[in-house]
Chain A
Amino acid sequence: MRFAPWLAIAACTATASERLHVVIPAGPGGGLDGTARAVGRALVELDLVERVSFENVSGGGGGRAMAYFLDNADRFETPLLVNSTPLLVRSLQGLFPYSFRDLTPVAGVVADYGVLAVRADDPRTTWEAVAAELRRDPRAFAVGGGSARGSLDHIVLAMALRLVEVDPRAVRYLPYDGGGKAMLALLGGEVDVLSSGLGETMAFIEAGEVRVLAVTAPERVGAIAEAPTFKELGYPLVFANWRGLFGPPGMPAETLAGHLHRLANMKESAHWQATLERRGWASLNAEGASFVAHLEAQERQLKEVMIDIGFVRPDE
């Protein structure tokens, strides 16, 4: 409750007359875009801001949006940048010269968890069975994912493999252009295991086409209550792909407090609960300092595994 005093001040200063401008580092239609627009819509409908405008700046794996945001932040009344876990991954890989430290982290809003899944008719029904087979022969079958080598789906797989003493570099990871195509490869039998996000997999789990071996959530997720977490299987693996909001560097404390106040109100509202329900998103409660701590912890977690799979060089 370190922020309680700020919240009190914010309650007086934050007015519904503010105009937010949200920069989205991706084209329209994707997860980041959906999150930004859902938050904006909730804030406007709940009368927490006057209006929200959006700007999609895609390109450079999010780097162009970052450059644009840093250069143009003072042009807008209240600028915000929406971002997600790949921001940390790309900073670590050195794909762009920015990190979350160039921004003022405001809050995490939603989380998606990683899942490892097999076809519903696969005789290997548990993560233990799959792990045992990979321990015998790491090349026994291929694992598919919806993103390039060295990005999220590959990282989640590597984290899981390390915990069962399988060398992540020995296992074949096949990257597909998006979780949907990776799912098709699983259903068609090109790969035997799929590493993907829970959101993208949900429809197929509900339809009984795939079985979730384990999910990286801290506790069982309501919508797929039958799927175990890695934690309860005895592996210390919790990993959330967060989506959250950032302000420009050196954002005044009262502006930050105003944002936190608004977001807190939004998260409590029935409108936002309904949105989460409808989109199948899990809420992420990490605001201000706790969001920064969350980012730092995740950066350490990512760095360790990325060194292991050869995408980040260890510090000398």
Chain B
Amino acid sequence: MGEGIATGLATAFQPANLAWVVGGCLAGTFIGMMPGLGPITAIALMIPVSYSLDPAAGLIMMAGVYYGAVFGGSTSSILINAPGVASTVATSFDGYPMARRGQAGRALALAAYASFAGGTVGAVALLLFAPTLALLATEFQSPEYTLTLVFALSSIAAFAERGQVLRSLAAALVGLMLGTVGTDQSAGVQRFTFGRLDLADGLSFVLVAMATFALAEAFRMVVAGGSEPPRSGLPHARLHPGDGKAVVPTVARSSGLGFLVGVLPGAGATLASFFAYEVQKRFRRHDEADAARGIAAPEAANNAACTGSFVPLLTLGIPGSGTTAVLLGVMLSYGVQPGPRLLEVEPAMFWGVIVSMYIGNLVLLGLNLPLIPYLSRIIYLRRRVLVPCVIAFSLLGVYLTSLNSFDVYLMLAFALAGLALRLAGFPLAPLLLGFILSGMLEENLRRTVMLADGSLGLLLTRPVSLVLLVLCVAIWAAPLLRMARERRRKQDHYAA
């Protein structure tokens, strides 16, 4: 393996390949920053460029585009509450409020440093464990996936703000229902499509996310007003004193968690960012740095997870996400068949790509930090300028991903519904989470039930799924126990 890493270093440090890392990262970051355009679009746009390169250079560039886009994706989440990819939704939870408080530079810098750390931890882990970790992917079967997803959804209830539990659950249920629109994956039956081809593939993530987050927020600004963010001179990319120290444990924890979740084929980076955010809330200290940790956790996790998703892609030839599926297509067009034998057949490329990820992360940090002061000026735009811009970008983003004007009307309808829900005090994050996880949950649950001839028994009889089940029960029981304890304390108080 030492020899492999040496080959990788030699490949990655060829001047041409170095240039392609930088080029790929640049292109990826800028495309990823556009609201609505995520890594899939970025990679798809770069496919024609990749055709003119040799396989190693092409893959190195494409990988650069991929994590560049993940890196840049947090920008629109933080600045205008417009997560272009599912994995940056969690970043907007604490990032957007921080930016509205006038600390956009701090939020973006936190995201950049955390992404860098996550990506680097991921690249090192990939370097060390790639071949062994592939096993993890085969251990996780439908019952385990089902419970992982149930766990993710349950955490909504456990971590919801006080008095918001029922509303959060209601929103999550609406999200789950939205996820059932389209062609049913296991029977091929069309559901809730009203016979329209436009709905046959279901609602796209970009549509629902842009409608419920960016557009609904823009509409809310119009309807409800609110203060302009405080102006404090040229925003800078500096962290607050103490931020660095405060986020280190969070970043370390989130990177490890993110990488492991990322290895699982499926909604890797998305689940990873949500888990990291929820775990972070568990460790909340109720001090000023909580928001900083809330940004660092999902950003470290989603970057580590996107590196993790290369494990099944490179070692098994199995794409875990839409983005890695497009990457697989690119590899196949070079005649490179990723899979168990890639390491034997193409060692230089295998290790070259992995080493270039490390370089790419350095490049991204160097690229992003100087840009932050300029980017974060967006936040100081007057509402009457910002709101129309957000609306235009959101509509454009959705139109560009599907080139279907029906999606634009549908998105406007969803945004109005989202606005109504927000004004009625329903949180929209659980709705989006429910929507994202719905399809996977249904698919895995159905398989679990089919395997056990119609019973849920498999959830109980497998060791890993049993552990997950216990965790789910614990997460539901915790708030109930706390309530019971508080009530008893009160009674004791009155008795005394």
Contact = CB atoms under 8 A, between A and B. Distances in A.
Given A38-B333, A96-B197, 20 more contacts: A27-B40, A27-B326, A28-B44, A29-B325, A29-B329, A34-B333, A41-B51, A59-B201, A61-B183, A61-B201, A63-B197, A95-B183, A95-B190, A142-B451, A148-B184, A176-B447, A178-B325, A183-B318, A190-B451, A203-B340
Interface string A183-218: 111011110000000000011101101000000000
A280 interface: yes
Contacts of B326: 27-29
A185 B47 CA distance: 30
29 contacts: A27-B44, A29-B47, A29-B325, A29-B328, A29-B329, A37-B51, A41-B51, A60-B198, A63-B200, A93-B188, A142-B450, A148-B184, A148-B185, A149-B186, A149-B188, A172-B451, A174-B447, A180-B265, A180-B316, A181-B318, A203-B317, A203-B339, A204-B340, A209-B340, A278-B335, A279-B332, A279-B333, A279-B335, A311-B188
Given A64-B404, A151-B188, A30 B325 contact: yes
A146 to B, nearest CB: 11
Interface in A155-175: 172, 174-175
A61 B443 contact: no
A188 B141 contact: yes
A177 B451 CA distance: 16
Contact of B200 (A56, A95, A185, A311): A95
A255 to B, nearest CB: 26
Enumerate the 5 nearest inter-chain pairs by beta-carbon distance, A residue then B residue, closest first.
A29-B329, A278-B335, A203-B339, A29-B326, A180-B318
A67 interface: yes
Contacts of B137: 184
A91 to B, nearest CB: 13
A58 B138 CA distance: 30
A188 B337 contact: no
Contacts of B47: 28-29, 37
A134 interface: no
A57 interface: yes
A219 B404 CA distance: 44
Interface of B: 40, 43-44, 47, 51, 137-142, 183-188, 190, 197-198, 200-201, 265, 312, 316-319, 322, 325-330, 332-335, 337-341, 402-404, 443, 447, 450-451, 453
Contacts of A174: 142, 447, 450-451
Contact of A190 (B142, B200, B332): B142
Nearest to A56: B44
Nearest to A31: B329
Contacts of B43: 28-29
B341 A203 contact: yes
Given A27-B326, A203-B337, A311-B188, A187 B138 contact: yes
A63 B201 CA distance: 10
B309 to A, nearest CB: 12
Nearest to B451: A142
B140 A188 contact: yes
A14 to B, nearest CB: 25
A280 B403 contact: no
B318 A33 contact: no
A105 interface: no
A280 B338 CA distance: 13
Name the residue in B141, B185, B188, B317 with the highest tally of chain A Cβ atoms < 10 Å from its Cβ: B188
A29 B450 contact: no
Given A93-B188, A185-B141, A148 B339 contact: no
Contacts of B316: 180, 183-184
Interface string A120-163: 00000000000000000001001000001111000000000000
A150 B187 contact: yes
B198 A139 contact: no
A207 B185 contact: no
A63 B193 CA distance: 14
B345 to A, nearest CB: 10
Contacts of A61: 183, 200-201
Name the residue in A139, A142, A148, A209 with the highest tally of chain B Cβ atoms < 10 Å from its Cβ: A148
B341 A180 contact: no
Name the residue in A183, A184, A187 with the highest tally of chain B Cβ atoms < 10 Å from its Cβ: A184
Nearest to A63: B197
Nearest to B196: A60
Contacts of B333: 34, 37-38, 279
Given A27-B326, A148-B188, A181 B265 contact: yes
Contacts of A189: 141
B337 A177 contact: no
Nearest to B204: A59
Interface in A70-97: 93, 95-96
A94 B184 CA distance: 15
Nearest to A97: B197
Nearest to B334: A278
Nearest to B41: A28
Contact of A280 (B187, B330, B337, B447): B337
A39 to B, nearest CB: 12
A60 to B, nearest CB: 4
Name the residue in B43, B138, B184, B328 with the highest tally of chain A Cβ atoms < 10 Å from its Cβ: B138
Contacts of A150: 187-188
A202 B338 CA distance: 11
A221 B213 CA distance: 52
Contact of A207 (B201, B265, B339, B450): B339
Contacts of B44: 27-29, 56
Contacts of B140: 188
Given A149-B186, A175-B185, A180-B318, A29 B335 contact: no
